[in-house]
């Protein structure tokens, strides 16, 4: 496989040599700026193309930021931005040194994106070589089952979403969100779904965690359904299967006296809650990131002829709205492309929720 080495060149010769040595010792090809030779395009264009053409990127950060390009970022910073949404990225940060202010900000950005999962620290070139060897070996193990299949992942995600029976409406509009990881593989053993530790964690996080799913006023029921463990309340549920696929159902409707409204801000906040809960649950069951990518699908059920409104619009005229005894079996909603790096589920949750809200708004209003 091709491993792109991203760092400053001048002043980091020993560190770059250590990374290249580790890459080659594991049987991979090291792609570096020094190997590009004479080209008609600029060196940085060649490096960014090298990032896109590689299977993985090793990023090494020292104290200096580097010369800023026309973008206002250093070449290494540009390479990180190019890689983070496209390629697995292993980051290594040098300890015991003074950093330039721009480099401090860059390191903070990398660590926030990586969440510490693939970020290691080093002091010497020898320590860096050993750290890169360990990290690449872990990455190899995580990808041994193959590359993520975006089409397959999306099919699994949409298949998890519940559909509603036409002509039936229980008076509550719900949002179902499915998060499926890839490459597809077994994450939990069947016995783990039934053991106490996982169940206790789901009960605890579902009620009292950072983004609780359940309410205190009602008990939570648990069940095993085929290869999945399910916790549920009225109009609320969490489903987790052996492949680490997650489905969350939460209520959305707001209205009174038979007049219902789908509130845009409520939808966005509920999406954020579901995505954050899913991210935290994935970290709990797969903290070595065997599932490197996720596909997300969502569906609104029970909306019927409800009106789409903002909170301001609803507050101004709460008794205006629409009602339809027949529900619309709207198709699932998904992003394009459907597969995203798993880190996006944590670091871009607000953007993901905004994008899904826009897609739902289009779908909902086009049906009027």
Q: Could you read off the pLDDT of 163-172 as tens digits, one per residue?
A: 764 434 466 8
Examine the domain organization and report whether 164 and 256 are in the same domain.
yes
Element (H, E) at 58: strand 56-61
**Contact indicator for 180, 286 with CB cutoff of 8 Å:** no
Cβ-based neighbour number of residue 99 at 10 Å: 17
Structural domain that includes position 93:
2-142
- Helix, strand, coil shares of the chain, percent, nearest 5, are 40, 25, 35
pLDDT mean over 126-147: 85
Examine the domain organization and report whether 230 and 250 are in the same domain.
yes
Examine the domain organization and report whether 221 and 158 are in the same domain.
yes
Total number of domains in the chain: 2
Residue that finishes a domain, picked among 84, 113, 142: 142
* DSSP secondary structure string for all residues of 196-260: HHHHHHHHHHHHHSSS--S-TTS--EEEEETTEEEEEETTEEEEEETT--EEEEEE--EEETTEE
- Measure the CA–CA gap between 207 and 216, rounded to whole angstroms: 7
17 has a pLDDT exceeding 60: yes
Confidence of residue 207 (pLDDT cuts 50, 70, 90): very high
At residue 290, the pLDDT reads: 84
Examine the domain organization and report whether 40 and 78 are in the same domain.
yes
What confidence tens digit (pLDDT) does each residue in 173-185 have? 899 999 999 999 9
Examine the domain organization and report whether 202 and 275 are in the same domain.
yes
What confidence tens digit (pLDDT) does each residue in 279-309 have? 999 999 998 788 889 999 999 988 877 778 8
Confidence of residue 114 (pLDDT cuts 50, 70, 90): low
List of residues 6+ apart from 133 with CB closer than 8 A: 22, 25, 26
At residue 35, the pLDDT reads: 73
Examine the domain organization and report whether 329 and 207 are in the same domain.
yes
**Contact indicator for 205, 277 with CB cutoff of 8 Å:** yes
Percent of the chain, pLDDT > 90? Answer: 58
319 has a pLDDT exceeding 90: no
Residue that finishes a domain, picked among 116, 142, 168: 142
Element (H, E) at 344: helix 344-347
Cβ-based neighbour number of residue 79 at 10 Å: 24
At residue 257, the pLDDT reads: 40
pTM of the model: 0.72
What confidence tens digit (pLDDT) does each residue in 57-104 have? 999 999 999 999 999 999 999 999 998 877 888 999 999 999 999 999
Higher pLDDT, 356 or 366: 356
- Measure the CA–CA gap between 357 and 269, rounded to whole angstroms: 10
Confidence of residue 236 (pLDDT cuts 50, 70, 90): very high
Query: If you ran DSSP here, which 8-state letter would residue 108 be given?
Result: H
Encoded tokens for 288 = 């070595």
333 has a pLDDT exceeding 90: yes
In the sheet with 228-233, reading across from the earlier edge strand, the strands are 221-225, 228-233, 236-241, 246-251, 174-182, 293-301, 333-341
Beta strand segments in 264-305, E? 293-301
160 has a pLDDT exceeding 80: yes
Percent of the chain, pLDDT > 70? Answer: 88
Confidence of residue 253 (pLDDT cuts 50, 70, 90): low
Q: What are phi and psi of 360, to 5 degrees?
A: -65, -40
Which residue's entry shows tokens 């998904």? 334
256 has a pLDDT exceeding 70: no
Examine the domain organization and report whether 329 and 187 are in the same domain.
yes
Confidence of residue 277 (pLDDT cuts 50, 70, 90): very high
**Contact indicator for 199, 221 with CB cutoff of 8 Å:** no
Residue that finishes a domain, picked among 142, 165, 196: 142
Examine the domain organization and report whether 162 and 234 are in the same domain.
yes
Q: Which of 114-128, 158-172, 263-277, 335-349 has the lowest mean pLDDT?
A: 158-172
Which residue's entry shows tokens 């409800």? 306
pLDDT mean over 309-318: 80
Question: Of 156, 169, 162, which is closest to residue 242 (Cα–Cα)?
Answer: 156
Question: Of 185, 187, 188, which is closest to residue 146 (Cα–Cα)?
Answer: 185
């Amino acid at each position: 496989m091709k491993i792109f080495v991203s760092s400053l060149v001048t002043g980091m010769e020993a560190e770059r040599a250590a990374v290249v040595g580790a890459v080659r010792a594991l049987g991979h090809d090291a792609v570096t700026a020094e190997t590009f030779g004479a080209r008609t395009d600029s060196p940085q264009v060649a490096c960014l193309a090298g990032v896109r053409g590689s299977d993985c990127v090793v990023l090494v950060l020292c104290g200096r930021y580097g010369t800023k390009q026309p973008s206002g970022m250093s070449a290494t910073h540009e390479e990180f931005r190019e890689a983070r949404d496209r390629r697995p990225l292993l980051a290594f940060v040098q300890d015991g040194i003074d950093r330039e202010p721009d480099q401090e900000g860059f390191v903070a950005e990398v660590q926030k994106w990586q969440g510490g999962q693939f970020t290691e620290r080093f002091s010497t070139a020898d320590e860096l070589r050993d750290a890169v060897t360990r990290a690449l070996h872990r990455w190899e193990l995580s990808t041994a089952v193959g590359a993520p299949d975006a089409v397959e992942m999306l099919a699994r995600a949409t298949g998890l979403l519940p559909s509603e029976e036409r002509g039936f409406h229980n008076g509550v509009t719900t949002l179902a969100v499915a998060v499926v990881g890839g490459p597809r593989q077994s994450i939990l053993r069947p016995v783990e779904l039934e053991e106490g530790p996982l169940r206790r964690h789901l009960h605890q996080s579902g009620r009292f965690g950072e983004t609780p799913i359940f309410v205190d006023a009602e008990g939570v029921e648990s069940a095993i359904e085929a290869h999945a463990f399910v916790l549920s309340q009225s109009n609320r549920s969490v489903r987790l299967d052996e492949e680490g696929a997650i489905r969350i159902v939460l209520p959305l409707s707001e209205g009174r006296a038979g007049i219902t409204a789908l509130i845009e801000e409520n939808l966005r906040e509920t999406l954020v809650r579901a995505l954050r809960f899913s991210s935290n649950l994935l970290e709990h069951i797969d903290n070595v990131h065997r599932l490197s990518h996720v596909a997300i699908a969502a569906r609104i059920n029970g909306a019927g002829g409800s009106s789409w409104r903002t909170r301001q619009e609803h507050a101004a005229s709460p008794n205006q709205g629409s009602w339809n005894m027949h529900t619309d079996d709207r198709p699932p909603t998904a992003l394009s492309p459907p597969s995203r790096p798993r880190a996006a589920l944590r670091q871009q949750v607000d953007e993901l929720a905004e994008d899904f809200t826009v897609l739902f708004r289009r779908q909902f209003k086009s049906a009027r």
